[in-house]
Structure 1
Amino acid sequence: MNLLKKYTGWFVLGTLALYLISVTQLISVLLPTILAWSANIAMWHSLAPSAKRQVSWLMIIGSMALLFAGSQGTWMTWQQVFAVNIPMLAMFVAVSFLDLTNTADKSSELPTGFKAILNTALGVQILGAVINLSVILVFAERMKAPNKLSPVQQFVLTRSFASAAWWSPFFVATGIALTYAPGMQWQKTLIPGLVMGVVAVIFSTTEAFHRTKGDFKGYPIKRESLFIPVFLALSVILFHYIWPNISILVLICILAPCATILLISTNSRKDSLLKFVNHKLPQIGSQFALFLAAGIFSNGISAIILSYPELFNLDNFTFNPPLFSFVLAAMIIVGVIGVHPVISIAIASPMLLPLNPDPTQLGFLFLSAWAISAGSSGLTGLGLLMTSRYQIPTKVIVMNSLHYAVFMWVLCCIVNWPFL
């Protein structure tokens, strides 16, 4: 165990490296799977008690479901149970490298007014689309008053950040959608996703200005801070156009670390990278635990559904706009009350796939559920961060964004018809 803890960061990095090698079929996916679970064991002690409870329950329920389905003659493969989310973990590790390109400037005064709100919302969405969760911390730490972040600052940051899930190929939500909606074409969700992301920013900016009368301290955005996110996004699009057979997820796993090594601003790349591997990567235990547990849980649910097809027979339904609207509403509701989007997606996918839905439309459903629930809930990742670190009550977070969740749900249902 001590050996595992000492080399935790290298197990995490090895998960990414061996996954990319397994894509070439030179090695089995068993090797990155073993490293991922080894890293999970090593990082378990660092998890918060609430995270341990959630992950433990997911594993227990999933394991019991798998054993029960097995007693009925339905067995899942080890790859389905233990390795289904390895691609997402590899992507998460790759994107984590981008933390090294993120520097906070504390020398300038905080801007105020409508422009400050708009720039903050756009900045956290664009930067967060590539650099992910660390951007929320950078923005919030710079914007907060001596005591805490204001509720208005909170919803501008969380809604705008979460709405990047609609369009960013670097968001974990995209990896989830690509996995649970097989055949999804990310490029086709880009335009409607951008529409949703822009509307989310406009909605939150207008509301924040109305509530604060312009007395809002935002984040000082500079042009150079947007270079890396835009560069990476364009690189993904370009390379996917040149090599369409390489998936978006694999491209991100390759490009994010490579771009970081090339663009990192430091006196010693080697020292910065070693510090990152040894100290930063071992801190992502909650993501590893959640995604690995979700793989067991989702396949347990899938096995039960396969064991009792008559109970989950949706042959009388088609994946039409009304069903899209109903399922999305249900996923948003369970997300707001604390069920992580990856769990609701894992449950919905095996029930909807037998309907032979358009994969891209199904993927847009999953992206929408993630973006809206993550931006509105006080009990999943972003909300818990705001509650624990900035003392914003869960009830305040939820009540501040209920109307936002309803509005974005309606808009998703409308956008779904003409675009998808």
Structure 2
Amino acid sequence: MQIFRKYTGWLVLGTLLFYLLTVPPFISILLPTILAWSANVAMWHTLAPSAKRQVSWLMAIGIAALLFAASKGTWMTWQQVFAVNLPMLAMFVAVSFLDLTGSKDESRPLPKGLSAIFNTAIGVQVLGAVINLSVIMVFADRMKGAIRLTPVQQFILTRSFSAAAWWSPFFVATGVAITYAPGMQWQKTLLPGLLMATISIIFSSIEAYRRTKGDFHGYPIRLESLFIPMFLASCVIFFHFIWPDISILVLICILAPIAAILLMRTQSRQKSLSHFVNHKLPQIGSQFALFLGAGVFSSGISAIILSYPQFFNLDAFTFSPLLFSLTLAAMIIAGVIGIHPVVSVAIASPMLLPLNPDPTQLGFLFLSAWAIAAGSSGLTGLGLLMTSRYQIPTRTIINNSRHYAVLMWLLCSIVNGFLL
């Protein structure tokens, strides 16, 4: 154990480096998976008691579900159980390098008021549409300053960011939708998606203003503060068009550390990097624990669902607006209780495709489920980030967005009925 703790930072860094080597693939996914779980063991003692309890419950429920499903003949592969969130962990390690570029000027006041709310919401969505989760960290780290991120700041960031799934071709959600809704024409979902994303920003901004009475500290949208996100966004766009077969997530894993090292403000890069690996990387233990635990939990829930396919047989139905609405509601609820949207999509797609749905409608369903669930859940993606990095309780995240999820579900059902 002491050896693990001594080299914790290198275990974390190795998770990123060896994950990238699995992409070509030069090595098996087994090695970075072992490194990730070893780093998790080494960092476990650094977790807060509440985080340990949450992860322990996730793991216990997931393992129990996996064992029960196995007794029914449903077996999940070790990759589905232990490596399902490995790409996300690799990205966390990569974007952690951006801490090396942080400005030391903390005296500049953060903007306040309704305009600050709108600017923050629009900024995180537009930039997040390209470079994904790293934008959330850049915005949130700057907004919280020396204090904790507030629940209102949290839902502005998570809802606005997630809403980009409705329209951004760079979002992982779009790739998943195109894959699981064969024949989907993304261009036809663009206008409905932009409409939903705009409504999300307006609704959330007005709610934030009413709850804070204008006392909201937003992100300072200035060229200086946006340089690194804009630089990363430009790089991701440029390299995405050069190598379209490389996923956005992998591009971020490669470009974020490189950009951070090039732009870091220090007299000695070697000393700063050594300190970062040995002292900063070991501080992301809660992200590792929560994502690995959530992966086991998600796999267990999926195994239970796959064990009882008779309960999810839809052959007697047609892909009507009502079925669209009911399926969307089920996928949102699944996301809120911790099932990653990609798992819900993977389960819903084979159930719905035999109904010969319009591919674009089906794709819009998947994009909507992703956008709403990711912005409302405390146990998937963004929720885990807010819980682990910014100490926003899971219950607070869910309570903050229950009404938002219901409203967006209703509006998506209406948009589907009239525009698609």
Match of 2:257, as an amino acid? P
Structure 2 match to 1:165: 162
- Using the TM superposition, give the Cα deviation of residue 178 of structure 1 relative to its aligned residue in structure 2, in angstroms: 5.8
SS of the aligned residue for 2:155 comes to helix
Q: Structure 2-normalised TM-score?
A: 0.78
Match of 1:315, SS state, is coil
1:345 is matched with 341
Equivalents in 2 of 1:325, 1:139: separation in Å? Answer: 36
Secondary structure at the aligned position of 1:266 is classed as coil
Whole-Å Cα distance in 2 between the matches of residues 63 and 298 of structure 1?
Answer: 10
Residue 370 of structure 2 corresponds to which residue in structure 1? 367
Q: In the alignment, what sits opposite 1:78? A: 78
Q: Equivalent residue for 2:298?
A: 298
Give the CA deviation at 1:244: 1.7
SS in 1 for 2:266: coil
CA distance in 1, matches of 2:20, 2:192: 30
**Cα offsets for 1:364-405 (capped at 9, x unmatched):** 13421334304999x95577589967xx9967x777655444
Cα distance, 1:182 vs structure 2: 5.0
Going from structure 1 to structure 2, the CA distance change for 1:117 and 1:162 (only over 3 Å counts) comes to: closer
1:133 pairs, out of 115, 133, 137, with: 137
Kindly state the Cα deviation for residue 17 of structure 1 after the two structures are TM-superposed: 0.7
* Alpha-carbon spacing, 1:192–1:414, altered in 2? closer, same or farther (3 Å): same
Q: Residue deviations 1:16-65, cap 9 Å, x none?
A: 11111111122111111111111111112222223222322222232233
Instruction: Measure the CA separation in 2 of the matches of 1:284 and 1:74.
Output: 34
- Structure-1 separation of matches of 2:8 and 2:309: 42
Distance 1:157 1:351, change over 3 A: closer
Contact in 2 for aligned 1:162/1:375 (Cα 8 Å): no
Q: For residue 136 of structure 2, what is the amino acid of its counterpart? A: N
CA contact (8 A) 2:125 2:163 kept: no
CA 1:305/1:248 → structure 2, altered by over 3 Å: closer, same or farther?
same
Pairwise mapping of residues 19-418 of structure 1 onto structure 2 (< 5 A)? Answer: 19-103=19-103, 105-123=105-123, 125=125, 129=132, 130-133=134-137, 135-141=139-145, 154-167=151-164, 182=179, 195-209=195-209, 218-317=218-317, 321-330=321-330, 332=332, 339-340=337-338, 343=339, 345=341, 348-355=344-351, 360-361=363-364, 363-374=366-377, 380-381=383-384, 402-415=402-415
Q: 1:6 to 1:191 in 2, by over 3 A?
A: farther
Q: Is the contact between residue 7 and residue 278 of structure 1 (CA under 8 Å) also seen in structure 2? A: yes
Asked whether the 8 Å contact 1:10–1:277 carries over to 2, the reply is yes
> Residues 187 and 43 (structure 1 numbering): CA distance in 2 closer, same or farther, change over 3 Å?
farther
Cα 1:317–1:272 shift into 2, 3 Å? farther
2:375 maps to a residue whose letter is I
Kept after mapping to 1: 8 A contact 2:117/2:209: yes
CA offset digits 1:234-285 (Å, max 9, x no partner):
3222222221222222222111212212222222222222222222222222
Q: Tell me, in whole angstroms, the C-alpha distance in 1 between the residues paired with 2:272 and 2:194.
A: 34
How far apart, CA to CA, are the structure 2 residues paired with 1:262 and 1:419? 46
What's the offset of the Cα at 1:333? Answer: 5.2
Q: Cα RMSD between the aligned structures?
A: 4.1
Q: Distance in 2 between matches of 1:204 and 1:349?
A: 26
**Contact 2:8 2:42 survives alignment (8 Å):** yes
Residues 123-176 of structure 1 show CA distances to partners (whole Å, capped at 9, x for unaligned) of 45566753333532421336x7xxx88xxx74255323442123379x9x9558
1:123 to 1:305, Cα distance in 2 relative to 1, 3 A:
closer
2:235 partner amino acid: S
**Structure 1 residues 268-303: Cα deviation after superposition (integer angstroms, max 9, x where no partner):** 222222222222222222222222223323333333
- Structure 2 residue runs without a partner (length 5+): 354-358
Paired amino acid for 1:155:
V
Cα distance in structure 2, aligned partners of 1:52 and 1:186:
44
**Cα 1:217–1:293, aligned 2, differ >3 Å: closer, same or farther?**
closer
Greater mean alpha carbon deviation, residues 294-303 or residues 239-248: 294-303
Conserved? CA contact 1:91–1:253, under 8 Å = yes
Provide the C-alpha distance between the structure 2 equivalents of 1:279 and 1:366, rounded to a whole number of angstroms.
38
- Indicate the residue corresponding to 2:11 in structure 1: 11
Tell me, yes or no, if the aligned pair for 2:124 and 2:136 is still in contact at 8 Å: no
Number of equivalenced pairs: 403
Structure 1 position 14, deviation (Å):
0.7
Conserved in 1, the CA contact under 8 Å of 2:287 and 2:384? no
SS in 2 for 1:106: coil
Aligned residue identity for 1:409: W
Work out whether residues 174 and 367 of structure 1, in 8 Å CA contact, stay in contact via their aligned partners in 2: no
For 2:222 and 2:232, the matched residues in 1 are separated by: 18
Distance 1:64 1:73 in 2: 14
